[in-house]
């Protein structure tokens, strides 16, 4: 459908007020839940085709998170939608202040390829809950998932309300040229800058969910067995193609050797001694990304791993050391199952290294010291993260998810999803029973009285 016509139709539908009632929003969320469940087999098959993702990972990281989000929001939506009364100052005696949540209108959601179901549907849930119309643009790099999403949405909602637009860069550019009322983008910082520039032409508010080099710190007092298991899981999940995956590791020099041994052991436990042949190992999405990852293997010394299969684009968990600070693997977001390892003797070294880089989307710390945790959280800036875990914070609807600086702007999940797609309209309800004369130019009140009232 022509983007101009599509947006016009959605604005016409939005103007009817049909999306505003609580009952309508709840019904649409329930319809979306039903559609996800009824199309689950097709989604899983498409994820298998595009990314070779296992059914377990497809459920855990794609549909389950969306279903949980719907349930969480539906139970709380009535409360979130209510206007909130706020106090008024002494100068406003007789009046009442209220904040009214209202939808923006029509939202454009640009989804990425790495979690092509979750990262398209999760923001859509927020847009629906907030009372918006929406256009979803899935990634062309996962074409089978894109086709299923188009069918799922098309079978469930009229395009005047919710629509999917498939296609490549040209389709995205055509949509970005339209004056949508809100724009939600998930992807790389480089493309995020382009999206923000396009949105600025229409002064469209944006949420940018980007990425960066997310560090993990393992201190000498950490539970190394659990740290290794959780880091290995976080780094191999989706073949490392996760915006919050550990991108590089700082480990205290005293525990480097046992930690790396434990990481190797966990990699074998997850995917066996021949991981490239494991039936559930997720693949790298395309040849370009695969070649980029292979090139990183020459930029350090392989501690373990390093295997890959060109025919299937499979790559095993690989730990590197002795990287040059200016190498691509230490400058780029890796987005694959390669983990560079750095050591430190004093925590100041690790913190200085982290602070020398752009603010990351996530940070993970493994330590048994509460003081250590307080210090790291106090002295580093990042979007979100975990102490003694990695990536798992993403699954809590109580924790807003988003970046800071070049790793993104804005957040979502749970209440934050509703807030993101909601404009909060402030209104003063003034009394007509009396009038306070001090604000008018013919008032006899002296400046001293005004100063007291305005403090």
DSSP 359: P
Residue with the bigger pLDDT between 163 and 438: it is: 163
CB atoms under 10 Å from CB of 260, counted, come to: 20
Judge whether residue 182 has pLDDT over 90.
Answer: yes
Domain with CATH 3.40.309.10 in the chain: 215-402
Judge whether residue 443 has pLDDT over 90.
Answer: no
Residue 183, beta-bridge partner list: 108, 206
Judge whether residue 399 has pLDDT over 70.
Answer: yes
Q: What is the pLDDT of residues 108-160, one digit of tens each?
A: 999 999 999 999 999 999 999 999 999 999 999 999 999 999 999 999 999 99
CA gap 288, 376 in Å, rounded: 36
User: What confidence category does residue 231 fall into, taking pLDDT thresholds of 50, 70 and 90?
Assistant: very high
User: What confidence category does residue 419 fall into, taking pLDDT thresholds of 50, 70 and 90?
Assistant: very high
Here the contacts of 40-44 (C-beta below 8 Å, separation 24 or greater) are: 42/148, 42/151, 42/152, 43/117, 43/145, 43/148, 43/152
Q: Of the listed 243, 299, 316, 333, which one is catalytic? A: 243
Domain with CATH 3.40.605.10 in the chain: 3-210+405-427
Q: Which two tokens stand for residue 362?
A: 């996530």
Reduce the DSSP state of residue 97 to 3 states and report it: strand
209 is an active site residue:
yes
Predicted pLDDT of residue 1 = 66
User: What residue ranges in 48-181 does DSSP mark as E strands?
Assistant: 84-86, 96-103, 106-110, 133-137, 162-164
- Residue 61 has, within 13 A of its CA and on its CB side, a CA count of 25
User: What confidence category does residue 378 fall into, taking pLDDT thresholds of 50, 70 and 90?
Assistant: very high
Report domain 3-210+405-427's class.
Answer: alpha beta
User: What confidence category does residue 13 fall into, taking pLDDT thresholds of 50, 70 and 90?
Assistant: very high
Share of the chain above pLDDT 70, in %: 100
Q: Of the listed 209, 299, 316, 333, which one is catalytic? A: 209
The C-alpha R_g of the chain, in whole angstroms, comes to 25
Judge whether residue 445 has pLDDT over 80.
Answer: no
Q: What is the pLDDT of residues 55-106, one digit of tens each?
A: 999 999 999 999 999 999 999 999 999 999 999 998 899 999 999 999 999 9
Q: What b/e string do you get for 170-189 counting C-beta neighbours within 10 Å, with b at 16 or more?
A: eebeebbebebbbbbbbbbb
Share of the chain above pLDDT 90, in %: 94
CATH number of 215-402: 3.40.309.10
Judge whether residue 455 has pLDDT over 80.
Answer: no
Averaged pLDDT for residues 390-418 = 97
């Amino acid at each position: 459908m022509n983007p101009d016509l599509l947006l016009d139709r959605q604005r016409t539908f939005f103007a009817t007020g049909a999306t505003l009632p609580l009952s309508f929003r709840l019904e649409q969320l329930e319809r979306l839940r039903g559609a996800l469940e009824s199309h689950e087999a097709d989604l899983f098959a498409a994820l298998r085709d595009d990314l070779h993702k296992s059914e377990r990972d497809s459920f855990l990281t794609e549909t389950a998170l969306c279903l949980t989000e719907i349930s969480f929001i539906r139970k709380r939506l009535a409360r979130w939608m209510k206007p909130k009364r706020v106090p008024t100052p002494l100068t406003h005696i007789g009046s009442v202040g209220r904040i009214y949540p209202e939808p923006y209108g029509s939202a454009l959601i640009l989804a990425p390829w790495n979690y092509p179901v979750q990262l398209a549907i999760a923001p859509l849930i927020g847009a629906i809950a907030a009372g918006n119309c929406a256009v979803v643009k899935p990634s062309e790099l996962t074409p089978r998932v894109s086709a299923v999403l188009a069918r799922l949405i098309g079978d469930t909602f009229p395009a005047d309300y919710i629509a999917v637009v498939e296609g490549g860069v040209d389709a995205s550019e055509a949509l970005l040229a339209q004056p949508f009322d809100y724009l939600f983008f998930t992807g790389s910082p480089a493309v995020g800058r382009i999206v923000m520039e396009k949105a600025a032409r229409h002064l469209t508010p944006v949420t940018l969910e980007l990425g960066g080099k997310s560090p993990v710190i393992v201190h000498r007092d950490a539970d190394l067995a659990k740290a290794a298991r959780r880091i290995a899981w976080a780094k191999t999940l989706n073949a490392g193609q996760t915006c919050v995956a550990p991108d590089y590791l700082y480990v205290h020099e005293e525990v480097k050797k046992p930690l790396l041994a434990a990481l190797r052991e966990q990699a074998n436990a997850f995917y066996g001694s021949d991981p490239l042949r494991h039936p559930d190992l997720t693949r790298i999405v395309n040849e370009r990304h695969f070649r980029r990852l292979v090139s990183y293997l020459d930029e350090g010394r392989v501690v373990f791993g390093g295997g890959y299969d060109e025919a299937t684009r499979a790559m095993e968990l690989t730990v590197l050391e002795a990287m040059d600070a200016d190498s691509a693997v230490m400058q780029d977001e890796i987005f694959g199952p390669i983990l560079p390892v750095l050591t430190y003797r004093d925590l100041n070294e690790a913190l200085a290294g982290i602070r020398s880089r752009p603010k990351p989307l996530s940070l993970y710390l493994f330590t048994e010291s509460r003081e250590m945790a307080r210090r790291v959280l106090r002295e580093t800036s990042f979007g979100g993260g975990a102490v003694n875990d990695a990536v798992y914070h993403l699954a809590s609807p109580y924790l807003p998810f988003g970046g800071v600086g070049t790793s993104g702007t804005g957040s979502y999940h749970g209440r934050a999803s509703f807030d993101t797609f909601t404009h909060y309209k402030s209104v003063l309800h003034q009394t007509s029973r009396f009038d306070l004369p001090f604000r008018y130019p013919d008032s006899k009140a002296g400046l001293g009285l005004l100063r007291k009232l305005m403090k």
